[in-house]
Structure 1
Amino acid sequence: MKCPLLVAVLAGSLLLAGCATETVFRPAGSASSAVQDRPFTVSGRISINMDGKGSVGQFDWSHQPQADQLSVNSPLGSTMAQLRRDASGVTLLADGKSWQAANVEDLTHDVLGWTLPLGNLVWWIRGLPAPDAPYQFASDGSLDQQGWTIRFVSDADAPGLYPKRVEMQRDKLTLRLLPQNWR
């Protein structure tokens, strides 16, 4: 039974990542500089919890304003799912199957049973509100936007350009991203 032990160790490492001195992430610069979408490539760890059932893994995401390629990998690095977005629509590849739709939100809702807000996540992973939807910052620094509560966490001792952790919650779904390698 090595697999349950490995999952427990990896889940523990996600929890330990939060033990450093943390603070609410505040983006550098003005909000007007965030209006322009810029390309990025980032990888890191992901944790998903839906109705008390969770899983952990890794992600690799390459973003261009007109296209995205997102891979979700097992803790050991094998690709579990790939999501590709371009002008022709969205394709999800997983379990040897392929699904297509006009947008990520509809596709992930139909296939996974929950909605991945990729259009907003482009901004949220950088610690910013999405510019095309109303939002509000709560007194604790969390962002409320389109039904999601997003918490941006930074290292108090070593602040960076982007949050070290992004926690998103909506209904019974919690997504936690730990971006580690920005390119």
Structure 2
Amino acid sequence: MMVRLFFLLSLFMLGACSTFKDVPSTAAPLQGQVQDQPFDVSGRLAVNFEGKGHVAGFDWQHTLEDDQLAIKSPIGNTVASLHRDRHGVTLLADGREQFADDVETLTERQLGWPLPLSGLVWWVRGHPAPQFPFTMTTEGHLQQQGWLIRITRDAANLVQPRRVELEREGMSIRLVLSDWRQFVPLQSERSVP
């Protein structure tokens, strides 16, 4: 019975993947004054750090004042939650609460690797973070804060990124953004299409 259920689930997952046609995309630099916008997205997260892989689901709510990030097990249970606001960052995991001034410091201390949330807030929407310098590779990929960032969109919806892949020496992070519940395209005084 379990083998049959696993087989049917695998077929469903393969079928779900085949309904999307991914299109590589370049990050669109924002020029002029940028107004941040809230978003609400769920998806899957895969991290490979020094040869060790980790996979999880996530729910992420971003507002102008804070971020709420719930990390979920493969069966959907919340195993850690991260809350960032103007006072700093709190991580609740394994019944313990940890605090730091920023996400990168806290995740490096707790996980051994930094989650670049300050840039990721912009990268998941397809743009470089306006507060940091960046370059574009000849293939159209973004390089910022020491990361190579590849953005992929669904051919049926070119506005919202579908996948964001980050790489740097010894580490890769891949986010598959499967459920955008709130998304307002970022705009500036002189937007680049």
Interval of TM-score (by shorter of Structure 1 and Structure 2):
0.7 to 0.9
Matched, 1:161 2:163: no
Look up the SS of the partner of 1:111 in the other structure.
helix
Residues 1:22 and 1:134: Cα distance change in structure 2 (over 3 Å): same
Q: Map 1:39-54; keep pairs closer than 5 Å.
A: 39-54=38-53
| Cα deviations by residue, 1:11-67 (Å, 9 ceiling, x for unpaired) | xx69x9489643222468x72388211111111111111111112111000101221
Q: Contact between 1:34 and 1:128, CA under 8 Å: does it hold in 2?
A: no
Q: Report deviation, 1:180.
A: 1.4
Q: Which has the larger radius of gyration?
A: 2
Distance 2:18 2:48 in 1: 17
Q: Percent identity?
A: 46
1:160 maps to amino acid: L
Q: Which residue of 2 aligns with 1:38?
A: 37
Q: Which residue of 2 aligns with 1:23?
A: 23
Using the size of structure 2 for normalisation, the TM-score is 0.80
The number of aligned residues is 172
Q: Contact between 2:152 and 2:162, CA under 8 Å: does it hold in 1?
A: yes
Q: Contact between 2:89 and 2:102, CA under 8 Å: does it hold in 1?
A: yes
RMSD: 2.5
2:48 maps to amino acid: N
Distance 2:94 2:141 in 1: 35
Q: Report deviation, 1:155.
A: 2.7
| Cα deviations by residue, 1:52-89 (Å, 9 ceiling, x for unpaired) | 11121110001012211000101100011100011221
Using the size of structure 1 for normalisation, the TM-score is 0.84
| Cα deviations by residue, 1:128-147 (Å, 9 ceiling, x for unpaired) | 10001110111112100010
Distance 1:48 1:19 in 2: 25
Q: Which residue of 2 aligns with 1:102?
A: 101
Q: Contact between 1:71 and 1:82, CA under 8 Å: does it hold in 2?
A: yes
Q: Contact between 1:169 and 1:175, CA under 8 Å: does it hold in 2?
A: yes
Q: Map 1:52-91; keep pairs closer than 5 Å.
A: 52-91=51-90
- Gaps of at least 5 residues in structure 1 are none
- Gaps of at least 5 residues in structure 2 are 183-193
Q: Report deviation, 1:160.
A: 2.7
